Structure 1
Amino acid sequence: MPEQEVLAAEFARYRQAVMTEIEVPGPAAVRRAVRRRRRSHLAAGATAALTLLAGPVVGYAALDRPAPGPTPVEPTPSATASPSPTPSGSGSPSPSSATTSTSPTGAPDGRISRAQLLAGPVTLPTWHVDAGCPNGRVRLTGEAGWETNTLLALDTGDIDGDGAAETVALVQCVRGTGGPQQVVAFDRDRSGRIVTVGQVTRTRLERPQWLIALDARDDGVVRVQVGDIAPGGGWPGDWSQRQWRGYRWDGRSFGQVSGPTAFGPNRHGVNLVLTATDLVLATAPDGSHPGTVTVRIRNAGTGPAAYVALRLDLPSALRPDGDGWAPCRNTPATTSQPVSCELGRLDAGAELRLTLGLRAAAGVTVGRGTADVEARPMDARSTVVEEVYGVDNLVRIDYR
């Protein structure tokens, strides 16, 4: 037999023998092998992902904001990943609680965002007795509505000296176009829940009636800008007197430690109310025509008028006459039309009554008509001061 045929026969016998000893894998065996390989790949990928993402997740949890989605990372050949412990706990925190970081002293971080304060109920200290506003466990709103507790402003600072920041909030109980206000300090407890520290200050009927701005400083002082009168009802905000007052936490409550404690008189708080009688002229023996006008000026406001400017827009033929003009600081007889009288201070609640004589010279015919009589408050610089309700500062009289 040729050599090639001998070798072919031997290889055929060997192949037959080997094939009888090897089991060809069927479909079930193939699926088992695929599952084993897939589990190995997933385990390795999960280990690497936990190692790479553990740091960012913890950091965002400490900041009390959602962690971003993982960014794909290309592992280096030399990196060796080991699984990190799986965080314990169930579910996400409630709106009033969150995982929070602590200061170097171990105190919880009390920085609270606007969204977090609006997310769930918080405890508000009591408003003044006559406010009729909800307090206790209430929801704050981001926009004003009828009888809502509206969040107006926020700031943060270490107000209790524990090495961590707290949050102060300016809140208004909106009733119509206005309502009382208060500044409240909030913190977090060690479980991350929002807790109320206390009321820093609030508006009062006797003033301040307006809280404008706040500034929480790291030296523990909470500064609040206050105004004597709140804008509204014809009162613009730039008429109000403004002050910065500082408050400090003593462990039990807030007390004022800096700034003024009271307001002086507001120059726009004056409200002059004027009445005047008609002018009826007679004929004197010398042929002249005398008459009187009785003027009553009352300050119905809460602030004094430094001066009062009285004007009588009568015909120029009628000139001041008699002693009734003596209270005037100027010389009315020298004034042209209208006749003016500059009066002195008129305190809140006070009243002036003047009987002012007027005379037309003999041979002058005055006739009949109407004339304006007006009283306006002035400040110390003799500048006319605007009033909220000025329609009662002017009356029209008849003369004849």
Structure 2
Amino acid sequence: MPERETSLLGEEFDRYRRTLLAEVVAPGPAAVRRTVRLRRRKHLVAAATAALALLTGPALGYAALHEPAPPPGPVDPTPSVTVSPTPSGSASPTPAPSAGSGSPTPIPPDGRISRSQLLATPVTLPAWRAGPGCPTAGVRLTGDGREGTNHLLALAHGDVDSDGAAETVALVRCALGTGGPQQVVAFDRDAGGTVVTVGRVVASTIDRPQWLVAVDVRDDGVVRVQVGDIHPGGGWPGEWSQRQWRGYRWNGESFRQVSGPTSFGPNPHQADVAVTATDLVLTDAPDGSRTGSVTIVVRNTGDTAVAYVALRLDLPSALRPDGAGWAVCRNDPGTTGRPVTCDLSRLDTGKERRLTLGFRAAAGAGVGAGTAEVDVRPMDEGFDFLPDVGPADNTTRIGYR
């Protein structure tokens, strides 16, 4: 293209731009953003159009540039922008938790411990009421009840602390002589697998219950313990003990009783009788014999009636029962030899029986002065002796002369 035509074309473009810009109203922000988006799409089209105009020829291009410019058309108004209000109290929406977020729920340790495992593992037990005679720290339970050891009597398993895993409940006895105190203890494992002590469920007492018989765990985690009022031994058979099932639940700190009786009624096989007696003073009878009597009072001071009471007088064999006072006896005292015995019938609680029992020494029988023992013992319907709650007042001593 000749240099003059190029110069004229540039002048025409400058004049057109000055005229057009004076008439154009500046678009708003929305128009600007729209123009930016459209500019790139129109750039190639504008470039192609300009090239085509130049190729058509200088005359055509020049004439087109000198035609009057059309009045500028209306400018689209800037669209208003609607902003959604931010909810109060929240700076930004809370993202939904991802599937892998958060820590997994820890699996509780398995506290099911077998008998052989428990016997092979040193454990710590709650303190025994018997004191240092029963070991507690780092000791092995035994299966044979050797003297001075902690004897494992029974096991049960169940979820006692509501953690979703089973624990172990053990019935243990401190072996002292033929008996010893007992307690039920709960064990578990920690995260490292070590056996740990959860706590004591219940223990035997000097009063009641003296005997822990059996243990199990219910599905709801309650530990059930069968307890007996009196521990067998010393002439007391186990079938005489009253038994109850009591339930205990773990509250996060200790076991507390939640079901079953809390006390025992009077045991029909346990009694409390007492005796008092006067001295026996003998006097000479016309036939040369010597006679006298002793007054005996037998009392039932216990909580239950006694079917029978056995009275025993350990006097010299030369002194034989004499007189009508012996009619109260259910047996024949004259045939018992030494000591003389008299079986008394039922004695209700709080009642007493007063007896005047005579004795005679045959003429020429040498009966000097001395002391003798008078003793009473309660019996059941089968004439079996019953243990006495307070045996100290079952016996008294009298003098004779």
TM-score (norm. length: structure 1): 0.55
Structure 2 CA distance for partners of 1:293 and 1:343, relative to 1, 3 Å: farther
- The AA in structure 1 aligned to 2:194 is R
Does the CA-based 8 Å contact 1:305-1:378 persist in structure 2?
no
Whole-angstrom CA distance in 2 between matches of 1:342 and 1:310: 9
Structure 2 CA distance for partners of 1:145 and 1:356, relative to 1, 3 Å: same
Whole-angstrom CA distance in 1 between matches of 2:263 and 2:245: 11
What is the match of residue 160 of structure 1? 161
Whole-angstrom CA distance in 1 between matches of 2:201 and 2:357: 59
Residue-by-residue CA offset, 1:184-240 (whole Å, 9 max, x unaligned): 111122222212111111111122111111111121111111112222233222222
Gaps of 5+ in 1: 1-103, 326-330
Alignment of 1:25-44 (within 5 A): none
Q: What's the CA shift for 1:292?
A: 2.5
Structure 2 CA distance for partners of 1:136 and 1:281, relative to 1, 3 Å: same
What is the match of residue 386 of structure 1? 385
What is the match of residue 306 of structure 2? 306
Whole-angstrom CA distance in 2 between matches of 1:165 and 1:121: 20
What is the match of residue 119 of structure 2? 118
2:345 pairs with 342, 348, 359, which one?
A: 342
What is the match of residue 354 of structure 2? 354
Whole-angstrom CA distance in 2 between matches of 1:121 and 1:189: 15
- SS state of the match for residue 324, structure 2? strand
**Pair 1:320-2:324 in alignment:** yes
What is the match of residue 241 of structure 1? 242
Does the CA-based 8 Å contact 1:147-1:173 persist in structure 2?
yes
What is the match of residue 92 of structure 1? none
Whole-angstrom CA distance in 1 between matches of 2:330 and 2:179: 49
Q: What's the CA shift for 1:182?
A: 0.8
- The AA in structure 2 aligned to 1:320 is A
Whole-angstrom CA distance in 2 between matches of 1:341 and 1:195: 57
- The AA in structure 2 aligned to 1:345 is D
- SS state of the match for residue 123, structure 1? coil
Structure 2 CA distance for partners of 1:334 and 1:250, relative to 1, 3 Å: closer
Residue-by-residue CA offset, 1:18-43 (whole Å, 9 max, x unaligned): xxxxxxxxxxxxxxxxxxxxxxxxxx
Whole-angstrom CA distance in 2 between matches of 1:318 and 1:211: 50
Residue-by-residue CA offset, 1:144-166 (whole Å, 9 max, x unaligned): 12211121111111112222211
Structure 2 CA distance for partners of 1:384 and 1:264, relative to 1, 3 Å: farther
Does the CA-based 8 Å contact 1:182-1:202 persist in structure 2?
yes
- The AA in structure 2 aligned to 1:176 is G
- The AA in structure 1 aligned to 2:253 is R
Whole-angstrom CA distance in 1 between matches of 2:330 and 2:269: 30
Q: What's the CA shift for 1:358?
A: 5.0
Identity %: 51
- SS state of the match for residue 255, structure 1? strand
Structure 2 CA distance for partners of 1:134 and 1:303, relative to 1, 3 Å: farther
Structure 2 CA distance for partners of 1:167 and 1:142, relative to 1, 3 Å: same
What is the match of residue 84 of structure 2? none
- SS state of the match for residue 138, structure 2? strand
What is the match of residue 172 of structure 2? 171
Whole-angstrom CA distance in 1 between matches of 2:129 and 2:397: 44
What is the match of residue 258 of structure 1? 259
Give RMSD over aligned pairs: 4.6
Structure 2 CA distance for partners of 1:144 and 1:264, relative to 1, 3 Å: same
Whole-angstrom CA distance in 2 between matches of 1:166 and 1:126: 21
Q: What's the CA shift for 1:247?
A: 0.7
Residue-by-residue CA offset, 1:61-96 (whole Å, 9 max, x unaligned): xxxxxxxxxxxxxxxxxxxxxxxxxxxxxxxxxxxx
Structure 2 CA distance for partners of 1:358 and 1:312, relative to 1, 3 Å: farther
Whole-angstrom CA distance in 1 between matches of 2:206 and 2:252: 27
Does the CA-based 8 Å contact 1:161-1:220 persist in structure 2?
yes
Whole-angstrom CA distance in 1 between matches of 2:353 and 2:280: 15
Structure 2 CA distance for partners of 1:236 and 1:341, relative to 1, 3 Å: closer
Whole-angstrom CA distance in 1 between matches of 2:249 and 2:174: 24
Whole-angstrom CA distance in 2 between matches of 1:369 and 1:295: 25
What is the match of residue 222 of structure 1? 223
Q: What's the CA shift for 1:293?
A: 2.3
What is the match of residue 203 of structure 2? 202
- The AA in structure 1 aligned to 2:179 is G
